[in-house]
Amino acid sequence: MNLTAIDWIIMLVYFVFVLGIGFALKRYMKTSTDFFLSGRSIPAWITGLAFISANLGAQEVIGMGASGAKYGIATAHFYWVGAIPAMVFVGVFMMPFYYGSRARSVPEYLKLRFDEKTRGLNAFSFAAMTIFSSGISMYAMGLLLQTLLGWPFNFSVLMSAVIVLLYIFLGGLTSAIYNEVLQFFLIVLGFLPLVFLGLKDAGGWSGLQARLGVVATEHGFASGAWSHSWTYMDSPTHNPMGVEWFGMAMGLGFVLSFGYWCTDFLVVQRAMAANSMSAARRTPLIAAIPKMFFPFLVILPGMIAIALTYQTGESGFALPKKVDGTFNYDMAIPMMLAHYFPTGILGVGLTALMASFMSGMAGNVTAFNTVWTYDIYQSYIKRGASDQHYLWMGRMSTVFGIAISVGAAYVATRFNNIMDMLQLVFAFVNAPLFATFLLGMFWKRATGHGAFLGLLSGIIAASLHHGLTLPMNAVAGVKGGWFGAMHIYPSEMAQNFWTAIFAWTSCFVVTILVSLVTKRRDEKELVGLVYSLTERPKEGHLPWYQRPAILGVIVLVMTLVLNIIFW
């Protein structure tokens, strides 16, 4: 790709702004609360945009574009089924527990509700998950710069790591949040022209549907399999995702979705930085409104890319293939940018793409350094140190967290769609954790022993299921089959959904059984930690548009309409 001076200047200005925010905020990072939770002083509209932007990393922009090409409009289920309902739930029901308990992290809430060992198990598993997630973003960044700019992959990965390290090291969570808001607007600005240009080339929505019909036929499906979200979910063999409606609704819509949005400290941390309980509850609801329209921004380009690839050369566009002969779906968005954007606009598009990678890395790193410092280092390595010492450790954990993430970036090279790898990680960590939270918040009888053994059994169940299954045409290893492939799934995503279902169910059942035979805690100790023992926030004095319940209903109705339109 031949970039002009204008393109380079646009990218340079962005990096100056990113690092400038970190330097500007460094003088305000005086305590550990400032560094890890922004002093709980951020307005709701900023935390709302940061809430969605923390999730708008390479996994979303590259991964959802790749999934749009690989699976079609069914990928929108990650939003309309696999995000919005859970975001409403966390805003209406769960934020009062997180924010009201004054817990500094999700594992710390588990300690307050259950016990130390449950907190410790989640802290270590979550820390590992953030490392893998950050590594996926680094891999995507390296792939982008290697393919589009010709830079060596290793150099590209290290460069992105250094930039994120600098602005998180300096400004902590506040730096990440304000950069995420900047990145949100950059991504929207950079991708809107791509959608319009791609749709125009494909002949509008009707033309795109016709071309996707050719793609579906080539893969042995009905012509509408790539352009209908629910119609072909009656059987795993009728859609490219290889999953039926139950696997979709239970695996993604319930377990993975609620497991991520309700328990993943990466996003919860943004809401906990809000300046009031009301603002914290509105944060995910504000984020849900733009979130429901993001399929048109990130999935649609992937669908256009695969449609144009099967257009027999008319457009001059074609997705590249990996050495195993499969399409490299991760390159759908980068290749579309290179194909359609002229000088200047190309610089904006590439900057938006890099912004998404930075957002993904920064979000995971700020979550990692908080959990490492508060839930691992302070709890098990050095208790009773000064606040300044923990502030120092937060900065040091940023350094070694990013260093380990570089190694995780190379694991991602085994997948042709990084979203497949990401959902696999979530199935191991977030799926069983959601069962623990669900019982802990709504069942007073749940005990610490039950929660710990349930969480452990969920992780073991995920390992067993993954080790005994494989996606079609995959070899044993990272993708499963360690103990022999007793079952073959049509796709990696179908395998992930069922891994999550097994993990959640195992944790749910074991937690109940163990809790029934172990000593329960006194109800006085659970006030503010269990739904039935927690005072409801008073919001009658607020205008309707600031009441979480009313906002939640509006968001759910809008999402239902989108599901019906693209049924």
The single-letter code of the amino acid at 300 is L
Q: What average pLDDT does this structure show over 58-65?
A: 78
The burial class, CB within 10 Å (0-12 / 13-18 / 19+), for 146 is middle
Which pLDDT score is estimated for 51?
76
Q: What is the pLDDT of residues 463-485, one digit of tens each?
A: 999 999 999 888 888 788 888 88
Q: What is the pLDDT of residues 427-447, one digit of tens each?
A: 998 899 999 989 998 899 999
**Euclidean distance between CA atoms 89 and 95, whole angstroms:** 9
**Gap between the terminal Cα atoms of the chain:** 39
**Euclidean distance between CA atoms 479 and 416, whole angstroms:** 12
DSSP 466-531: HHTEEETTPPSBTTB-TT--SEEESSHHHHHHHHHHHHHHHHHHHHHHHHHTSPPPPGGGGTTTSG
Whether residue 492 is contained in a domain is answered as: no
Whether residue 26 is contained in a domain is answered as: yes
Which pLDDT score is estimated for 305?
92
pLDDT tier, 314 (very low <50, low <70, confident <90, very high otherwise): low
Largest CA distance in the chain: 71
Q: What angle do CA 542, 545, 549 make, to 5 degrees?
A: 85
Q: Which residues contact 170 (CB under 8 A, 6 or more apart)?
A: 22, 23, 25, 26, 29
State the DSSP H helix or E strand holding residue 445, giving kind and residue range, or none if neither. Answer: none
The burial class, CB within 10 Å (0-12 / 13-18 / 19+), for 423 is buried
**Euclidean distance between CA atoms 500 and 247, whole angstroms:** 10
Q: What is the pLDDT of residues 354-396, one digit of tens each?
A: 777 776 677 778 778 888 888 888 888 888 888 888 888 888 8
Highest mean pLDDT, choosing among 150-159, 164-173, 193-202, 338-347: 193-202
DSSP 378-431: IIII-TT--HHHHHHHHHHHHHHHHHHHHHHHHHGGG-SSHHHHHHHHHHHHHH
Whether residue 419 is contained in a domain is answered as: yes
Structure tokens at 127: 């820390």
pLDDT tier, 163 (very low <50, low <70, confident <90, very high otherwise): confident
Q: CA 283 from chain center: how many Å?
A: 16
Whether the predicted pLDDT of 39 surpasses 60? no
**Euclidean distance between CA atoms 44 and 545, whole angstroms:** 13
Highest mean pLDDT, choosing among 149-158, 278-287, 317-326, 403-412: 278-287
**Euclidean distance between CA atoms 139 and 419, whole angstroms:** 12
Note the helical H segments in 145-226.
153-202, 204-218
Whether residue 417 is contained in a domain is answered as: yes
Residue 355, domain extent: 5-426
Whether the predicted pLDDT of 174 surpasses 80? no
pLDDT tier, 36 (very low <50, low <70, confident <90, very high otherwise): low
Contact in structure between 98 and 272 (CB atoms under 8 Å): yes
Closest CA to 287 of 2, 66, 557, 555: 555
Whether residue 288 is contained in a domain is answered as: yes
State the DSSP H helix or E strand holding residue 563, giving kind and residue range, or none if neither. Answer: helix 548-565
Q: CA 412 from chain center: how many Å?
A: 15
The burial class, CB within 10 Å (0-12 / 13-18 / 19+), for 27 is exposed
Note the helical H segments in 43-152.
44-53, 58-71, 77-80, 84-89, 95-100, 106-113, 116-144
Q: What average pLDDT does this structure show over 29-49?
A: 65
The burial class, CB within 10 Å (0-12 / 13-18 / 19+), for 564 is exposed
Neighbours of 246 (CB within 10 A): 12
CATH number at residue 270: 1.20.1730.10
Whether the predicted pLDDT of 23 surpasses 60? yes
Which pLDDT score is estimated for 52?
76
- Number of domains forming the structure of the chain: 1
Which pLDDT score is estimated for 565?
92
Whether residue 542 is contained in a domain is answered as: no
pLDDT tier, 515 (very low <50, low <70, confident <90, very high otherwise): very high
pLDDT tier, 2 (very low <50, low <70, confident <90, very high otherwise): low
* Averaged pLDDT of the chain: 84
Q: Is the dihedral of CA 365, 367, 371, 377 positive or negative?
A: positive
Q: Which residues contact 406 (CB under 8 A, 6 or more apart)?
A: 135, 138, 157, 158, 161
The burial class, CB within 10 Å (0-12 / 13-18 / 19+), for 397 is buried
Whether residue 479 is contained in a domain is answered as: no
Whether residue 465 is contained in a domain is answered as: no
pTM reported for the whole predicted model:
0.81
Q: Which residues contact 277 (CB under 8 A, 6 or more apart)?
A: 95, 96, 99, 100, 537
**98 compared with 70, residue with greater pLDDT:** 70
Distances (CA, A) of 298 to 120, 353, 372, 518: 36, 11, 32, 48
Percent of the chain with pLDDT over 90: 28
